[in-house]
Structure 1
Amino acid sequence: MTWHVAEEDLRGYARGELAPPLLWSADSHLVACAECRARLADVSDPVALDAGWERLDAELDAPRPGLFERLLVRFGVADHTARLLAATPILRRSWLLAVVSVLFMSVLMVHTAHTPGLFLGLAPLLPLIGVALSYGPGIDPTYEMAVVAPLHGFRLLMIRTAAVLAAALVLCGLASLALPDYGLRALAWLLPALALTGIGIALMPRLGPVFAPVLTGGAWIGFLIAAQQATEGTPAPFTAPGQAVTAVVALAAAALVRRLRDRFDSSSAHTPFAGFGPGGAV
């Protein structure tokens, strides 16, 4: 060691009065310097010294926030909320790359076949799938911590849903820009996406965080197939009347989710296939 902690700083450290950045410097130095640790023991109360080492151990063992988490905190998001958002599985690089790949292929198919139906039908499913992959046991890496934390299950779900919607809607919006020939019709996926996400969440307390989105997505695909067979033009959800109906459905689903918010702490809301098994019925 080419330097040692000053005597006055050691006494302030022992009394818990040393402020950053001197505190951080002293902590780091004391880890590696046996001489300063011995000097600190001479001027310290043993109880206060033990508390100091416990504090140092806690700081060394604390997880280091990633870039995304630090950005959220800088923009005013609370530390605990930023950590929940950063741990959202939907924001992992693998998922984002998968979404980008799916959107790229669908846009390529639109340019090849000159019909936006595939893209418009696929884009609303992405936020719904993202919600299904962001909440529940076996899916959420922080699920066990969330269960024992004093955090309302509905609030956790809404935090994760906000992250999913932000990521999926931005990516789908960028993909829409690659379809300039279709004008505003390229954005007709937005209201169905909000409606499907709302319906999937509203069904979770009854059907669980996996089966509810699966059932909702399957119903959407079936409806699109039936609508395509019924008319040769634009499928009903993407026409002006269909968009109006979809907006009403999205608002109704949001109101229902708010009404059911207390049920998201029940065991059925956390069971992947709550509607099945002993005692369960769809």
Structure 2
Amino acid sequence: MSDWHLQDSDLHGYAGGGLAGPPLWSVESHLGACASCRDRLASFADPEAVDTGWARLDASLDAPVPGPVERLLLLLRVPDHTARLLAATPALRLSWLVAIALTLAMTATIARLADPIVFLAAAPLLPLLGVAVSFGPGIDPTYEMALVAPIQSFRLLLLRCAAVVSANTALCALASLALPDAGPGAAGWFLPSLALTVLALLLAPRFGTVTAAVTVGVGWTALVAGLAGALFTAAGQAGTALAVALAAALLARRAATFDTTRRLR
């Protein structure tokens, strides 16, 4: 299979685990194609060390290539297993974020032509969609892996929701620029976004993320329809901030229920 063969020093270094980087890759590539060198390696190497080397090669070949989100998280020093579980969140995929951006752009355009309340009422609903697909069988592609990962379900769901809310907040902030006439009031969607997200998390252990998000979304829609613009006044924002604080405190106290109740759906 080859006109040249590995030197004994290379085989000794490989068997002893002393090779790294390009020399290691070169040796393993040659061994994969050269039966003669494999026989020479087996003649003086510890069989267990050889098996370990092949297992390491198989693992490196089978390992998935990190995507842009995962690479960014790794650059931010997020542990690799946590970065992989976060990057697998459907709401952090490029297609999802593009769809959210287009929805926000269209909503902001309609709100500018009609009433800013249209945007303020719609924007908080978008993070709920991310919460709904953050964790659960049939939704999360890494659900089974997440169940056995060295991380609590509550922490994983909280991390994913924080990432989703952060991405949506950045997109909503950009969309708010389309409402210059609204002034500071154009940011009135922010506190409701937090409130709806925390409320959905509170309901998730009992009803699952999808049902919880839908329930909270329907409640928000009814609340906006009933109170109109009162939610986006100074008093309404203060009340929303208080609701966020109370719901967050309750969520912290109920963190253990995410791992002791039935699986999130």
Same fold by TM-score, threshold 0.5 exceeded? yes
- Alpha-carbon displacement from aligned partner over 1:203-225 (angstroms, at most 9, x marks no partner): 11222212111111101000101
CA 111–61 in structure 1, closer or farther in 2 if over 3 Å, else same: same
Paired position in structure 2 for 1:256: 250
Pairing 1:217–2:211 present? no
Point out where structure 2 has 5 or more consecutive residues left out of the alignment.
none
Contact 1:263/1:269 (<8 A) preserved: no
Contact 2:112/2:178 (<8 A) preserved: no
Write the distance in 1 (CA, Å) between the matches of 2:48 and 2:259. Answer: 42
Aligned sequence identity (%): 55
Write the distance in 1 (CA, Å) between the matches of 2:133 and 2:188. Answer: 24
From 220, 233, 239, the counterpart of 1:239:
233
Contact 1:207/1:268 (<8 A) preserved: no
Contact 1:4/1:36 (<8 A) preserved: yes
Aligned residue identity for 1:23: L
Point out where structure 1 has 5 or more consecutive residues left out of the alignment.
229-234, 273-282
Paired position in structure 1 for 2:144: 144
Paired position in structure 2 for 1:280: none
Contact 2:127/2:164 (<8 A) preserved: yes
Contact 2:108/2:175 (<8 A) preserved: yes
Compute the TM-score of the two structures, normalised by the length of structure 1: 0.88
Alignment of 1:78-89 (within 5 A): 78-89=79-90
Pairing 1:164–2:164 present? yes
Write the distance in 2 (CA, Å) between the matches of 1:54 and 1:18. Answer: 15
- Alpha-carbon displacement from aligned partner over 1:210-247 (angstroms, at most 9, x marks no partner): 2111111101000101112xxxxxx1111001011101
- Alpha-carbon displacement from aligned partner over 1:36-70 (angstroms, at most 9, x marks no partner): 32332233222222222122112211222122212
Paired position in structure 1 for 2:112: 111
Alignment of 1:1-282 (within 5 A): 1=2, 4-113=5-114, 115-228=115-228, 235-268=229-262, 270=264, 272=265
Q: Would you identify which runs of 4 or more consecutive aligned residues in structure 1 move more than 6 Å?
A: none
CA 66–36 in structure 1, closer or farther in 2 if over 3 Å, else same: farther
Write the distance in 1 (CA, Å) between the matches of 2:241 and 2:172. Answer: 18
Contact 2:206/2:261 (<8 A) preserved: no
Write the distance in 2 (CA, Å) between the matches of 1:81 and 1:28. Answer: 31
C-alpha RMSD over aligned residues: 1.7
Write the distance in 1 (CA, Å) between the matches of 2:3 and 2:67. Answer: 33
SS at match of 2:246: helix
Aligned residue identity for 1:126: L
Compute the TM-score of the two structures, normalised by the length of structure 2: 0.93
Write the distance in 2 (CA, Å) between the matches of 1:225 and 1:112. Answer: 19
Aligned residue identity for 1:5: L
Aligned residue identity for 2:144: E
